[in-house]
């Protein structure tokens, strides 16, 4: 949608083809955060210094895994992309001053300010197109339809402590009630990735882009250098169109293609994805048929969330990503089948899942006690404790009145689990996790509980009953994609640009080389190269 919006703004006639019945893909269910060093929250001098520092950070973290000129292009154009969208559309962002880079000890890392997130959006402004927007994950909504931002969550978790928080909670519920009365199936106060997609959709329509839903390109034939004939599958039957200037592939990667998953993901091949079920590599396969090639595969060609599997009431299967809400909090441990910990539970999601792979802990168990789950929730179980029994009945949560009982339920060595819990009690008292340093790094401290001392991430596990949920890596998106140059043009096997063919988003080989430097690692470059591609087509 970014590429379409920019191309239309630059005066081109744009056809946006969406395979699913709704736009939004994975982005609509994401947190909607973009990592853009040197963004609008900084003055000019600060922004220049930040871009230089971010270059150093990526050189250290990513290094030879991707081409430096692509990273430089991203760093140069990211802030310009945000400014362009602010000027020409309603795709507006706010800075996230507290979102730290995920490897804070590397040179060039920044403790906050590089990520930006979409401003909240009133979905009613989409008018009749509200239904054309893919909804967020049901597990990310409360009361069956209210979207909450990270700021909302903080207020709701502390609702008892402040009148302002109570007023905010009441306003969310009243707004939802009004939406339902007006006939909306879900709340129209949109946050995170859903707000981002809604803003893009409104802007795309306003810019005059022709949007075709439930439509797919089935064949592309070269006519002349940059002109191509495309066959479309549409609800009304086959349809042919001609593209005079360019085709931009933006199908979101291969998360939903079992064959590609088997070939390009590590073993055991993850069974689930948190990404959109319509991102099945069909766009990339079309591009490969036109002479494009893939980038260099890496050990992990995807980014990971440790995720639990939810059997929903309607029989569908949901994937719940354990991003920031539970793992770092005090009183939770992750254990393998020996009952031992293997990782700092509070580190970033991608790194946590890498540790699962390296340690052979796929799946592992997140274990906590009754006090923890009431206070913080656990995965899809919201804080407050009202729904715990229902989650136990569904089989999502395992529980036991003793640690040994719980260990038996989850197939974990009981002596190992007891000794780990006793060891954690010592760490909670001293505030020092001698084994994995949980709560001693910026990332886990940020997601811990500041009110807990001496360490915001360390707590005892001693209040029966005890609970556990199984987690395994599920991809949030795939990082192996089509090789491009710095203009987002597809490359052939000889490294030559293919005229009029571009890629962006997860169809483009990631400039991060499979690393996950910060919140917003995929959407930042994804939108930036969408902007770059459209500007390049426009000359």
Q: How far is the CB of 192 from ligand FAD (least distance, A)?
A: 7
- How many whole angstroms from its chain centre is CA 110? 20
Q: How far is the CB of 419 from ligand FAD (least distance, A)?
A: 35
DSSP state of 140: G
Closer residue to ligand FAD in complex, CB, 18/449? 18
DSSP state of 474: E
d(CA 192, CA 181): 24
Residue ranges in contact with ligand FAD by CB under 6 A: 17-20, 23-27, 29-33, 216-217, 250-253, 274-276, 278-279, 282-283, 321, 476-477, 505-506, 519-523, 526
Closer residue to ligand FAD in complex, CB, 23/388? 23
Phi and psi based region of residue 258 (left: phi greater than 0; alpha: psi -120 to 50; beta: remaining):
alpha
In the block, tokens 């946050």 appear at: 191
Helix/strand number for the chain, H first, E second: 15, 21
Phi, psi of 173 (to 5 degrees): -70, -40
Closest by CA to 36, choosing from 1, 86, 4, 81, is 81
d(CA 18, CA 200): 14
Contact of 326 with 376, CB cutoff 8 Å: yes
Closer residue to ligand FAD in complex, CB, 109/232? 232
Closer residue to ligand FAD in complex, CB, 297/360? 297
Contact of 383 with 377, CB cutoff 8 Å: yes
d(CA 381, CA 139): 9
Q: Inter-axis angle of helices 192-206 and 2-9, to 10 degrees?
A: 30
Q: How far is the CB of 306 from ligand FAD (least distance, A)?
A: 12
Closer residue to ligand FAD in complex, CB, 23/461? 23
d(CA 530, CA 539): 14
Q: How far is the CB of 349 from ligand FAD (least distance, A)?
A: 9
Closer residue to ligand FAD in complex, CB, 215/461? 215
In the chain, what are the helix, strand and coil shares in percent, each to the nearest 5? 35, 20, 45
Closer residue to ligand FAD in complex, CB, 73/278? 278
Q: How far is the CB of 454 from ligand FAD (least distance, A)?
A: 31
Q: Where are the alpha helices (DSSP H) in 364-413?
A: 370-376, 388-394, 403-410
Contact of 485 with 494, CB cutoff 8 Å: no
Give the 3-state secondary structure of residue 418: helix
DSSP state of 241: E
d(CA 159, CA 328): 21
Closer residue to ligand FAD in complex, CB, 232/537? 232
Q: Where are the alpha helices (DSSP H) in 431-516?
A: 442-447
Beta bridge partners of residue 12, listed in sequence order: none
Closer residue to ligand FAD in complex, CB, 91/523? 523
Q: How far is the CB of 408 from ligand FAD (least distance, A)?
A: 33
Closer residue to ligand FAD in complex, CB, 452/479? 479
DSSP state of 124: G
Q: How far is the CB of 217 from ligand FAD (least distance, A)?
A: 6
Q: How far is the CB of 344 from ligand FAD (least distance, A)?
A: 21
Q: How far is the CB of 45 from ligand FAD (least distance, A)?
A: 27
Q: How far is the CB of 508 from ligand FAD (least distance, A)?
A: 8
d(CA 538, CA 141): 40
Closer residue to ligand FAD in complex, CB, 230/424? 230
């Amino acid at each position: 949608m970014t590429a379409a919006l920019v191309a239309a703004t630059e005066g081109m006639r744009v056809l946006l083809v969406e395979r699913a019945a709704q736009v939004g893909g994975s982005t609509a269910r994401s947190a909607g955060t973009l990592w853009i060093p040197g963004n609008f929250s900084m003055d000019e001098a600060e922004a220049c210094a930040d871009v230089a520092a971010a270059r150093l950070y990526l050189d250290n973290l990513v290094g030879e895994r991707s081409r430096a000129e692509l990273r430089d292009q991203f760093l140069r154009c990211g802030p310009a992309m945000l400014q362009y969208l602010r000027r020409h559309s309603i795709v507006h962002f706010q800075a996230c001053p507290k979102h730290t880079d995920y490897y804070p000890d590397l040179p060039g890392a920044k403790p906050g300010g590089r990520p930006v997130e979409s401003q909240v959006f009133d979905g009613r402004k989409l008018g009749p197109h509200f239904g054309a927007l893919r909804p967020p994950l049901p597990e990310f909504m409360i009361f069956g339809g209210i979207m909450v931002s990270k700021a909302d969550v903080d207020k709701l978790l502390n609702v008892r402590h402040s009148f302002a928080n109570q007023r905010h909670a009441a306003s969310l519920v009243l707004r939802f009630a009004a939406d339902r009365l007006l006939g909306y199936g879900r709340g129209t106060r949109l946050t995170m990735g859903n707000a981002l997609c809604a803003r893009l959709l409104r802007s795309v329509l306003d810019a005059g882009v022709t949007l075709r839903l439930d439509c797919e390109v089935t064949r592309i034939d070269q006519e002349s250098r940059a002109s191509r004939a495309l066959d479309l599958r549409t609800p009304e039957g086959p349809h042919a169109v001609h593209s005079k200037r360019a085709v931009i592939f933006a199908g979101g990667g291969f998360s939903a293609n079992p064959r590609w998953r088997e070939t390009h993901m590590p073993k055991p091949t993850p069974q689930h994805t948190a990404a959109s079920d319509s991102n099945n590599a069909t766009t990339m396969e079309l591009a490969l048929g036109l002479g494009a090639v893939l980038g260099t595969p890496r050990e992990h060609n995807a980014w990971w969330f440790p995720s639990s599997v939810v059997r929903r009431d309607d029989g569908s299967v949901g994937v719940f990503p354990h991003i920031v809400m539970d793992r770092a909090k005090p009183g939770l441990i992750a254990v393998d089948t020996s009952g031992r910990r293997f990782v700092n539970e509070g580190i970033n999601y991608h790194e946590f899942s890498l540790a699962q792979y390296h340690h052979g802990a796929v799946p592992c168990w997140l274990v906590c006690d009754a006090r923890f789950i009431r206070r913080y929730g656990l995965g899809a179980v919201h804080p407050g404790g009202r729904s715990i029994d229902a989650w136990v009945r569904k089989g999502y949560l395992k529980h036991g009145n003793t640690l040994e009982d719980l260990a038996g339920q989850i197939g974990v060595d009981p002596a190992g689990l007891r000794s780990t819990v006793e060891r954690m009690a010592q760490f909670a008292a001293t505030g020092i996790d001698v084994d994995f340093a949980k709560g001693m790094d910026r990332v886990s401290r940020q997601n811990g509980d500041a009110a807990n001392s001496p360490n915001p991430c360390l707590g005892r596990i001693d209040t029966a009953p005890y609970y556990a949920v199984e987690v395994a890596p599920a991809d949030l998106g795939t990082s192996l994609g089509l090789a491009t140059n710095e203009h987002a043009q597809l490359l052939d096997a000889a490294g030559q640009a293919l005229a009029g063919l571009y890629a962006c988003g997860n169809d483009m080989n990631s400039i991060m080389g499979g690393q996950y430097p910060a919140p917003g690692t995929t959407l930042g470059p994804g939108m930036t190269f969408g902007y770059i591609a459209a500007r390049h087509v426009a000359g």
